Structure 1
Amino acid sequence: MIQKNKEKRGFLYGIGVGPGDPELLTIKAHRLINECDILAYPAPEVGEGLALEIVRPLLKNVTEFLPLRLPIAVSPFPAQRAYDQAALLLEVQLEAGKTVAVICEGDPFFYGSFMYLFERLSERFKTKIVPGVSSPMAGAAVLKTPLVSRNEVLTILPGPLEEADLEQRLLNTDAAVIMKVGRHLPKIRRVLRHLRLEHCAHYVEHATMHNQQIIPIENLEAQNVPYFSMILVRKIKSQLTSGVV
């Protein structure tokens, strides 16, 4: 059962809800979400957001919801102020002795919005992190392609990196997952083309969801793609040293 704090203050859970398919929620995440007093979720300025969409089919006992208006991708409102305001909303509930579950896509501590709330609240309130299936794992699964094996090195790269930095890091790894593609797609494609790695790179969008797309980079025609898309690049070092490229 949920750890109901006997003290005045409540308990804060950061719960990863996985990449999109509700059935990929862990048993623990499912239980805690349905036992909490308040379900808090990150949401854009308008609408509900992906995290709540993922768990909605599994909700049974939740009666109180708390939307946290946080910056999603490239947002017009200041990030730090938004997280400060969200932390204050949670603080009110925690001071009242409530058990609050904050859900987020993927894993809370892997590019997760919850980490910024954790920084603001963890010293004053009891917290627990429930890991979730992260998008690189989901991407490899839907591609049916292992990311790395044996002593190979996997590198996670954020799309907003500078072009030269992105290129150098790709040169020094066996496989990579490039996250947060969005408006950075043209830059990423230039780097892959320059390194002659396009043929071993795949674009993945909405992995495990009904609108999932998997496209070899060489065949990708779109110029504008969602922020939460990714590109998986496999066997980089062997491709660069074998004379294949």
Structure 2
Amino acid sequence: MAKLYGIGVGPGEESLITLKAVKILQKVDVVIAPTSKGEGSIAYEIAKPYIKGDVIFMEFPMTYSKEDLKTKWEENVKKIKELLDEGKDVAFITIGDPMIYSTYIYILKGIEDYEVETIPGITSYSAAASRLNIPIAEGNETFAVISSGDVTEISKALDMFDNVVLMKISRRYDEIVNLLKEKSFKGYLVIKCGHKDEKISCDLDRYIGKKIDYLSLIIAKKVK
């Protein structure tokens, strides 16, 4: 029976992809690389040196229309099922870890009655903490990883946890920076961790009013 693999290729550096991921990429018949309209696939650029089989670039629109998203997800799931029905082993690649804020999660929900194996990847925030040489949490400290869509939820997390990793910060950056000051948190900004144009800054004010790349995060630590 053909098998679907969900593979996390890590945050950006080719060398941070796992040995198991490389082994599977070299043996599968087809690799599916997610793209958004008019853009390439970051996951593909990371995994490219290890891919031996065919590559299909599958579009996943960046839209807030639930109807448009649902239609496209269903189309993509159907295509993947067709490949599996042809007896082809398929790898769906995604940046970071497949089980954290990834397109693969939605594919997984639509694949039933097929064999599936998920291969973990190094997360962007784990890599970012290592680049900073700053622990995300130590001793009995608490920490949370949250999406930054709702400022109210961010505020709650800052009240509850000693350390907070803020993902998807681009749309709320200025508000987040002001909130961190209000709650007495020190923030560390990492933009495109592991990529050639990576940027790291402890001066969050420097980026207020500027366009922040989607692949950006903040590690926030309570000042004690």
TM-score range, shorter chain: over 0.9
Match of 2:154 in 1: 166
Q: Is 1:92 matched with 2:90?
A: no
Match of 1:20 in 2: 12
Deviation at 1:183, TM superposition (A): 1.6
C-alpha contact (below 8 Å) 1:203/1:231 kept by paired residues: yes
Going from structure 1 to structure 2, the CA distance change for 1:210 and 1:222 (only over 3 Å counts) comes to farther
Q: Structure 1 residue aligned with 2:26, among 34, 52, 71?
A: 34
* Alignment deviations for residues 38-97 of structure 1 (CA, whole Å, 9 cap, x no partner): 0101111123311001111333x22x111110134x567822222111101101101111
Q: Which segments of 5 or more consecutive residues in structure 2 lack a partner in the other structure?
A: none
Question: Residue type matched to 2:132 in 1?
Answer: L
Q: Structure 2 residue aligned with 1:104, among 94, 97, 101?
A: 94
Question: Residue type matched to 1:101 in 2?
Answer: A
Match of 2:145 in 1: 156
Which of the pair has more CA radius of gyration? 1
TM (norm. structure 1) is 0.86
Question: Residue type matched to 2:207 in 1?
Answer: L
Deviation at 1:218, TM superposition (A): 3.6
Match of 1:178 in 2: 166
* Alignment deviations for residues 151-171 of structure 1 (CA, whole Å, 9 cap, x no partner): 11111111102x222112111
Output the CA distance in 1 between the equivalents of 2:45 and 2:36. 13
Deviation at 1:112, TM superposition (A): 1.2
C-alpha contact (below 8 Å) 1:158/1:178 kept by paired residues: yes
- What is the number of residues matched between the two proteins? 222
User: Alpha carbon RMSD of aligned pairs, Å?
Assistant: 1.6
Q: Structure 1 residue aligned with 2:115, among 99, 102, 126?
A: 126
Q: Is 1:225 matched with 2:217?
A: no
Question: Residue type matched to 2:137 in 1?
Answer: V
Percent sequence identity is 24
Match of 1:208 in 2: 194
Question: Residue type matched to 1:224 in 2?
Answer: K
* Alignment deviations for residues 126-171 of structure 1 (CA, whole Å, 9 cap, x no partner): 000000001110110111111111211111111102x222112111
Output the CA distance in 2 between the equivalents of 1:47 and 1:194. 37
SS at match of 2:25: helix
Deviation at 1:222, TM superposition (A): 5.2
